[in-house]
Amino acid sequence: MQTPTYPTTGLPTYNIKNNPSIFNFKLNTISKVNQLRQYLLAISFNQTFLMTVLDYRNMGRSYYNQIPKKYCATVKLNKIEGFNNKQITVYLPEPGGSLANSIKYTTYNNNTRVPLMKLMQPQKLPTLWSQILESDPNYPGYNWYQAKQIGTFAKDAPTALSPNEQVIYYYIKNADFFTRVLKLLLSSFYNHAIQRFECYTLVFPTDFYPGNKDQRTFTVTGDFLRSVYSDYLRASRLPSPFKLPAPVVANPNYTIPTTNYSQLNINKIVTADLQTTGVTGKNLTELNKVIEEPSDTFPI
């Protein structure tokens, strides 16, 4: 058997000669692999929310240095643990931050109606898109103004933002991580088809996931990623039992349905000898009996 070479933190991709078991790598205990599978399923089931929030970042950057444009969008936060029946609308206002937006003049309330640039970290090349004009306190009584950054520094986010704002802020802040995970899940089918055996080190962001760095670090193999996404595709028509984590500053306890698969069964799932869906552990024969039932009756 090939002796595994443990990846070094920071290097994202490793090409390896033989296809290793996910258990060949350090830090990958049976309980952690069960946990990792649930984390990845939660990201897969809620990828629509993630892509919407990632579009917010792209929208802010795209319009950053262009001529005045207007934009607003609303996203529901019910995919986030503890945020049922909540939503937030973000706006790109005209320069100065106080003129009419794309719908009508709106008064921001720091909860459900907020400027998009406030939910991003301050830009290195500030323009009117990322500033708001305020009276200069150093010159009272004069019509002198100063430009104030709308963006929020990470150190200020826990106190300067409301819980709704924190959700969008921290998902934008960690957009690169979630984009990478979704790309790895999708590309796992192609990589498996051409027998490209790879492994990746994933460090889940401390803004969302509990534990120290070792507890949040996983080394995943391509076939493991493919098996997780296959489970998601089989169950994607059914109600999702998973929610994404809220920011730790808003809710430090992320509770996610757990599994207790043995190492043998996890290896069977990876090789498709044992096919399950979601957190139920039901095999496909049993699943097919309920697939035609109304979605809200599926036993999670």
Task: Give the type of residue at 1.
Answer: M
Place of tokens 């206002």: 93
Place of tokens 């809200």: 296
Task: Give the type of residue at 226.
Answer: R
Q: What integer pLDDT is reported at residue 102 of this predicted model? A: 47
List the pLDDT tens digit at each of the 300 positions of the chain.
444 444 444 444 444 555 567 887 877 889 999 999 999 999 999 999 999 888 887 776 655 555 556 677 889 999 999 999 999 998 876 544 444 444 456 778 888 988 888 888 876 655 555 566 666 666 666 666 666 667 888 899 999 999 999 999 999 999 999 999 999 999 888 887 776 777 888 999 999 998 899 889 998 888 899 989 988 988 888 888 899 999 998 888 888 888 888 888 888 888 766 555 444 444 445 544 443 444 333 333
